[in-house]
A and B are shown apart, each in its own frame.
Chain A
Amino acid sequence: MIIKQLSVFLENKTGRLTEMTKILSENNINISAFSIADTADFGIVRCIVSKPDEAIKALKEKHFSVNITDVVCMIVPHEPGGLYKALQILSDNNVPVEYMYAFAFDNAASVVIRSESNEEVIRVLEANQMKLVKASDIYQI
C-alpha cells in the first residue's frame, strides 16, 4: 500500500517547472497526482508518476535534486463529509499527518497522505474499512 512519491527541489525560477515536466514527458512518464509546497525562494514538487524509478533517473541526469518519499493514498467518497470522516479516524487514533493533497473525479476522491508513520496510517484506515489505493493501481491512473 506504500506508494513512491517523487519529491523535487526547485528554485523559484521561471521555466524550471516546465523543464521538469518536459523531462517526464520526453520519457513517456505519466503524472497521476501533483502538488507544490512553496516558500519565498524555493519550492518542493510532490508528485506520483507512472514509472517512479525511471523518472528519478531521468531527472537526476538533468541535475534535478530528487528524492523518493513514501506516502499512502486513500479513496474517500466525493461528497460532503467524505474527507472529514477519514481524518476523524486518523486523529482518533493519534496518527500524525505531515501533509496531504487530494484530487477528485466522478464519485470518489483520492487523498495522498504523508505521515511519519505511514504503516500506522494504513493499519488504522484498513481497520476502519477505508479504501486504500494500491501502488500498482495508482501508477496506472
Chain B
Amino acid sequence: MIWNEFIETADREKLKEIQNERFVKMIERMYYNVPFYRKKLTEAGIEPGDIKSIDQLKDLPFTVKDDLRDNYPFGLFTVPQNQIVRLHASSGTTGKPTVVGYTKNDLQLWSEVVARSLTMAGVSKEDIIQVAYGYGLFTGGLGVHYGAEKVGASVIPISGGNTKKQLQLMVDFGSTVIACTPSYAAHLGESLVAAGIDRKDIKLRSGIFGAEPWTNELRKQVENLLGIKAFDIYGLSEIIGPGVSMECEHQNGMHIFEDHFIPEIIDPKTLEVLPYGELGELVFTTITKEAMPLLRYRTRDLTRLHVEKCACGRTLVRMEKCMGRSDDMLIIRGVNVFPSQVEAVLLEMSEASPHYQLVVNRENNLDTLEINIEIDDQFWSDEIKTLENLKKRFQHNIASTLGISAKINLVEPNTIARSEGKAKRVIDKRITNIE
C-alpha cells in the first residue's frame, strides 16, 4: 500500500520541479524572517533572487546543532510565536536542549509523512497500534501518534516504560503493531518470554522501530522474540521527528520524503557533496516546514543514498541504515570504532544478549577499551571453562571486527542501564580525564 501515490511514485523530474519551487520560497522566508540566516546567506554572497534550483544547494552554508543552541530557544523560528502551536525539545546531554517549533501546517505535514511511513509497514485503520515511544518533549510518541490517527488506526498512547502494563495491554487489547525504540522492543520481547506469555496469545504483526541506531542482527532477534516483522523508521526532531524516512516491505533502505526534506551526503572532513552510493554524513534541507526550516542541517548520521527505483514502486531516494554517527565515532588508539560494530558481533554470536556497554579510558597515555556484556541464563553452564571460552570468543571476534583488542567483562543480567528511551552504549572516561 502507498499512502500518497502521486508523490511517492512521482517521476524524478516532476519531483525536482516541486522541490525547486518550494526551495526558492523557503530561502526567501529564511532570508527575510531570520537574522541568523540572512547573515549566513549574505556572508556567502547570496541574495534570495539568486536561488533558482536545488542544484545550488551545494553552494549554500550549513547549519549545525550548535547554531540551534546559540539561538536558544526561539531564535531560528521564521514565524511569530502566536503561530506556533507545539514545542518539542531534545534532551541536551551537554548544555541547553535543542528546541523545535511547529505551526498548524507543520503538524499536518508531520502527520502526513508519518501516515506514509506507517502505510509502508502495512498499517491501516484495521490495526491497533501500541505507541510505546515516550510522549512528551521527545518527538517519538506524539509524532507516531498523530500519524497513526491520520491513517485511522486505533492508537494506544501508552508511552514508554511500565513493561508489565505494556504486555498486559498487548494481550488484552490485541495490539497488532508496536512502535518504540529497538532496544526497548528487545526488552519487551525478553520480558514476554520471562513472563511465560505464549506468542499465540498476542496478535502483534509489525514493529515500527527507530530513534536510535540498531543493526540487522538486532532486527532478527526482535523479530524472533516478538514474532513480528520489524520496520526501520528514521527521523530527528530538528527536521520534524520520526517520519523523515521509512522502510517499505522490501526493506531495501528507507525512503526519504523528498517533497519535504532534501537529502545530501557530504564528506564530513572536506564538506564536499558525495555522489549517490558513497558513505558520508547525511545533510537535510527542509523545504516546506514553516516554523523552523533548516538549511543544510548536518545530522552527523553516517549513511549512503540510493536513487534507483524500489521494487515497491516508490521513486523516492533510499537511505541505508545509519552506520553510526560521525560524532558517536570513537577514535581508540587511532582506530575508528562504532558501537554498532560491537553490537553486530555480539548478535552474530548466538550466545550473547544484545546488552553491552563500551567503556573507553586512558592509562599511561594509552587508550583502553573495555566491553561489558550481560550474560544470559540460557547461555552459560556453571563450569568456569565454558564461560572463559565464551569470553575468549567475544574477545577474538571483536578484535577481528574492530581491528583493536578489548577487555571483555561478563556482567550480570540487567546491570547495564536499560533504555526505556535511548541506550547508553558508551562511557568515554577520556573526556573528563584530559580536562
Beta-carbon contact of A41 and B382 below 8 Å: no
Choose, from A5-13, A83-91, A123-131, the stretch at the interface. Answer: A5-13
Q: Cα distance A9–B382 when bound, in Å?
A: 8
Q: How far is the CA of A10 from the CA of B384 in the complex (A)?
A: 12
Q: Is B363 at the interface (CB under 8 A from chain A)?
A: no
Docked-complex contact B412 and A9, CB < 8 angstroms: yes
State how many residues of chain A have any CB contact under 8 Å with chain B: 21
Q: Flag the segment in A24-32, A65-73, A103-111, A132-140 that touches B.
A: A65-73
**A44 touching B377 in the complex, CB below 8 Å, given contacts A9-B412, A11-B411, A65-B413:** no
The residue in chain B whose Cβ has the minimal distance to the Cβ of A40 is B409
> In whole Å, how far is B322's beta carbon from the nearest beta carbon of chain A?
32
A39 to B409, CA, bound (A): 11
Q: Given that A63-B414, A65-B375 are known contacts, is A9 also in contact with B409, CB under 8 Å in the complex?
A: no
Contact of B377 among A39, A66, A98 (CB under 8 A): A66
B-binding residues in A (CB < 8 A): 5, 7, 9-11, 37, 39, 41-42, 44, 46, 60, 63-67, 69, 98-99, 114
Q: Residue on A with the closest CB to B415?
A: A11
- Taken together as a complex, chains A and B put the C-alpha atoms of A69 and B380 apart, in Å, by 11
Residue B57, interface by CB 8 Å = no
Instruction: Find out whether the CB atom of A67 lies under 8 angstroms from the CB atom of B409.
Output: no
Residues of B within 8 A of A66 (CB): 377
Main secondary structure of the interface of B (DSSP, over half): loop
Residues of A within 8 A of B410 (CB): 9, 41-42
- The 3 residue pairs across chains A and B that have the minimum distance between CB atoms: A7-B382, A63-B414, A69-B382
Interchain residue pairs with CB less than 8 A apart (5): A9-B375, A39-B388, A63-B415, A67-B381, A99-B383
- Which chain B residues border A67 with CB–CB below 8 Å? 377, 380-382
| Residue B387 CB within 8 A of the other chain | yes
Give the docked Cα–Cα distance between A44 and B414 (Å). 17
Contacts of A9 in B (CB 8 A): 375, 380, 387, 410, 412
Shortest A128–chain B CB gap in Å is 26
For the complex formed, measure the closest distance between the CB of A44 and the CB atoms of chain B, giving whole angstroms: 5
Supply 6 further A-B pairs (C-beta < 8 A) apart from A67-B380, A67-B381.
A5-B382, A9-B412, A42-B411, A63-B413, A63-B415, A114-B382
Interface contact B387-A42, CB-CB below 8 Å = yes
With A and B bound together, what is the CA distance between A7 and B386 in angstroms? 14
CB atoms of A65 and B381 under 8 A apart: no
**C-alpha spacing A114/B375, complex, angstroms:** 22
Interface centre among B194, B376, B382, B410 (most CB of A within 10 A): B382
Q: Which residue of B lies closest to A116 (CB)?
A: B383
Q: Which residue of the partner chain, among B194, B382, B415, contacts A44 with CB atoms under 8 Å?
A: B382
Q: How far is the CA of A94 from the CA of B380 in the complex (A)?
A: 26
User: Quick one: which of B377, B383, B388, B409 contacts A65, CB cutoff 8 A?
Assistant: B377
A138 vs B46: C-alpha distance when bound (angstroms): 87
Residues of A contacting B415 in the complex (Cβ-Cβ under 8 angstroms) = 11, 63
By beta carbon, the residue of chain A nearest B409 is: A41
Closest-CB distance, A39 to chain B (whole angstroms): 6
**Least Cβ–Cβ distance between A100 and chain B, in angstroms:** 13
Taken together as a complex, chains A and B put the C-alpha atoms of A39 and B387 apart, in Å, by 10
When chains A and B are docked, how far (Å) is the Cα of A5 from the Cα of B381? 12
In the complex the two chains form, what is the Cα distance from A46 to B411 in whole Å? 18
- Cα–Cα distance between A98 and B381 once the two chains are bound (Å): 12
Q: How far is the CA of A98 from the CA of B409 in the complex (A)?
A: 24
Q: Which residue of B lies closest to A5 (CB)?
A: B382
Q: Bound state CA distance, A27 and B341, in angstroms? A: 43
Residues of B within 8 A of A65 (CB): 375-377, 380, 412-413
What 1/0 mask marks residues of chain B from 367 to 397 whose CB sits below 8 Å from any chain A CB? 0000000011100111110011000000000
Complex Cα gap A69–B382 (Å): 7
Residues from chain B with Cβ under 8 Å of A10 in the complex: 412
Task: List the A residue with the shortest CB-CB distance to B413.
Answer: A65
Distance in Å: Cβ of B354 to nearest Cβ of chain A: 16
- With CB as the reference atom, state the residue of chain A lying closest to B376: A65
Which residues does chain B contribute within 8 Å of A11, judged by CB atoms?
411-412, 415
Distance in Å from the Cβ of A62 to the closest Cβ of chain B? 9
* Contacting residues, chain B, for A64 (C-beta < 8 A): 412-413
User: How many Å lie between the Cα of A56 and that of B375 in the bound state?
Assistant: 17
In the docked arrangement, what's the CA distance between A44 and B108, Å?
57
Q: What separation, in Å, do the CA atoms of A53 and B412 have in the docked complex?
A: 20
> Which among A7, A11, A66 has the greatest number of chain B C-beta atoms within 10 A?
A11
